[in-house]
A and B are shown apart, each in its own frame.
Chain A
Amino acid sequence: MAIYVVLAYSVFCAVPFGLALSILARRRRVQRQLAALHEEH
């Protein structure tokens, strides 16, 4: 029984953390591209 609770709370931690990491990674990529574009000017 306890294993299902542990698994469920792992999901509750992993999904928002994963989404936050994914958003951060995408923002970094866009910011790098913006910086590269400004450097070209």
Chain B
Amino acid sequence: MRAKLADFGLPVLSVIVFLAASGMVFLYAPREVTMGDVQRIFYFHVASAWVGFFGFLVTFCGSAVYLARGAHGARAWDILALASAEVGLAFITMTVLTGMLWAKPVWGVYWIWEPRLTISAVQWLLYVAYVMLRGSLDNPERGARFAAVYGIAAFMTVPLSWFAIRWWRTIHPQLFSGGEMAITPPMLATLLVSLIAFTVLYMALLRARMQLERERDHLAAARAAKE
């Protein structure tokens, strides 16, 4: 009963919070003076980046626990790592695409090979490779071990991306500068609601993706029992 409620409730809740966040972005948040309406991309762009990073952190933790516990009895952590990488990749894909759509009217070009964007491109490719790798390895146990090591190594792109705009000369805007936020309180409220919306969406997608993997395990076990 509780599982059925979560199956239905989480997706419905994610749609409601997503609509509320969209309403705040377009009706509540003030129009930014320099960039105009194109600045409204920022709220969902930042929220999807943070949730994508969180997704990769979950993959990192799931992979570490899987390796620490050994293959036996740790399949749940492997499923968590795999599902979170796929969902996190969707969020980072949104971040990269909408970043390009913001950059064109503001910078005059869709893409510049500056540190933050270069690391984002490398990160996106690494996690695309992770998802493709998971689908192509024949030996599930060895594949899961290899993917766990890969998931830990690929996570290094998250702190690199976070600090890229602080360590190197870059034209990417900084939200936090010298301990202060570069936005007004209504903008901050809109960003926080957007962050909640994307977190609920992440949880709904993660849950569905984990259920898929468990059902695949049931199918594999049923086939093995038949043979």
Contact = CB atoms under 8 A, between A and B. Distances in A.
> Chain B interface mostly helix, strand, loop or mixed?
helix
B209 interface: yes
Interface string A26-40: 110011011001101
Interface string B190-223: 0000000000010011001101100110110011
> Chain A interface mostly helix, strand, loop or mixed?
helix
Interface in B98-118: 98, 101-102, 104-105
B45 A16 contact: no
Contact of B94 (A11, A26, A34): A11
A4 B208 contact: no
B222 A8 contact: no
Interface residues on B, range: 35 or more
B51 to A, nearest CB: 10
A15 to B, nearest CB: 5
B211 A27 contact: yes
Given A1-B37, A15-B90, A23-B208, 15 more contacts: A7-B101, A8-B41, A8-B44, A8-B102, A9-B41, A9-B44, A11-B94, A11-B101, A12-B94, A19-B87, A20-B204, A23-B212, A33-B219, A34-B222, A38-B222
